Amino acid sequence: MPPFILGIESSCDDTSASVVNGTTVLSNVTANQEVHKEFGGVVPELASRAHQQNIVPVIEAAIRRANIGKNQLAAVAFTQGPGLLGSLLVGSSFAKSFAMGLSIPLIEVDHMQAHILAHFLQQPDQANAIPSFPFVCLTVSGGHTQIVLVRDYFTMEVLGQTIDDAAGEAFDKTAKILGLPYPGGPIIDKLAAEGDSSRFSFARPKIAGLDYSFSGLKTSILYFIRDELKRDPDFIEKNKNDLCASIQKTIIDILMIKLKIAVTSSIQYPASSAFDVAIAGGVSANSALRKALTEMAKEEGWNAFIPPFEYTTDNAAMIAIAGYFKFLKGEFARQSTISYARSRW
């Protein structure tokens, strides 16, 4: 019988707990923090406080839904970083005390690696296809945008990344310019479905290699909207769907161009292996990105791996499975381990 692992995620504004049995998800419970909506972005101090309120009920619910007793847990895994330090401390302090109380191992997990490892999660009653090593993963979230060569569960190499804003930030900041609430990514996705993506065009960055840049796009949209509003104060309202569709298309095009170069131009894949290409992170919930990868994979003969919606945005199941893979290696953390706010790779 594979071990039961409790995973705890608290790096940003979601408090999440999950129990896995090996790679199978038994429960995945997330409390979203509504409090940030009115501020147009995550307020770190409010996030830490909300984690303090939510963490015990969320963990209790995860263990209850998994239908096990806490004494059956073999280890507790938690997000060590990157993320908001105050938020991370709530999860890590809880995990340390819990591990100590139950005399079970403590496992620290990197949030970005966990987003990628979400591809290995299985549901109790259905087998999901999993990518084979090596594969390339485009990891796109509110804080990161990276093209990662995944050689093994924990042997990952960043081939390219954003030099300024992340793709999720590009969605959220442009949504704010359009007067949409936070987080803007899912709202742009929804409004774009009814819009014409070829209606407006925006400047594309010219960045060498496999790196990305999104801050220029945000500025070009800001100036464009400002000028149009001078001509017609109702410009945004009249063109909301087309604006969202055009912005979304620009972001996705930027992402896909570099991903294609990374996969086709590189020595990533041994001659005998298939081209397995994945997307992960909150922005991988985007319908246009999911479609774009499916289409590109068809044209290029790749195998595309697109995570179920539940495991795109922040969730503890990805932390729990990363913990499981570390458990198999006997890689445990000390009680004195510390969190980190910035990405380590």
> Do the Cβ atoms of 121 and 23 come closer than 8 Å?
yes
User: How do beta strands 276-280 and 135-140 pair?
Assistant: parallel
Q: Cα(273)–Cα(283) distance, rounded to whole angstroms? A: 27
The tokens for 275 are: 């081209």
CB of 59 to ligand KG4, least distance (A): 19
**Closer of 105 and 168 to ligand KG4 (Cβ):** 168
316 contacts ligand KG4 (rule: CB under 6 A): no
b/e map of 138-157 (b: 16 or more CB within 10 Å)?
bbbbbbbbbbbbbeebeebe
Q: Which of 66, 121, 285, 317 binds ligand KG4 (CB under 6 A)?
A: 285
Q: Which of 131, 183, 195, 307 binds ligand KG4 (CB under 6 A)?
A: 183
110 contacts ligand KG4 (rule: CB under 6 A): no
142 contacts ligand KG4 (rule: CB under 6 A): yes
Q: By CB under 6 A, which span of 66-74, 140-148, 323-331, 334-342 interacts with ligand KG4?
A: 140-148
Residue 82 interacts with, from Zn ion, ligand KG4, none (CB under 5-8 Å by kind): none
User: What is the edge-to-edge ordering of all strands in the sheet holding 156-161?
Assistant: 156-161, 145-150, 135-140, 276-280, 303-305
| Residues in touch with Zn ion (CB under 5 A) | 141, 314
311 contacts ligand KG4 (rule: CB under 6 A): no
**Closer of 112 and 225 to Zn ion (Cβ):** 112
Site for ligand KG4 in 265-284 (CB under 6 A): 281-283
81 contacts ligand KG4 (rule: CB under 6 A): no
Amino acid at 66: A
Q: Cα(118)–Cα(115) distance, rounded to whole angstroms? A: 5
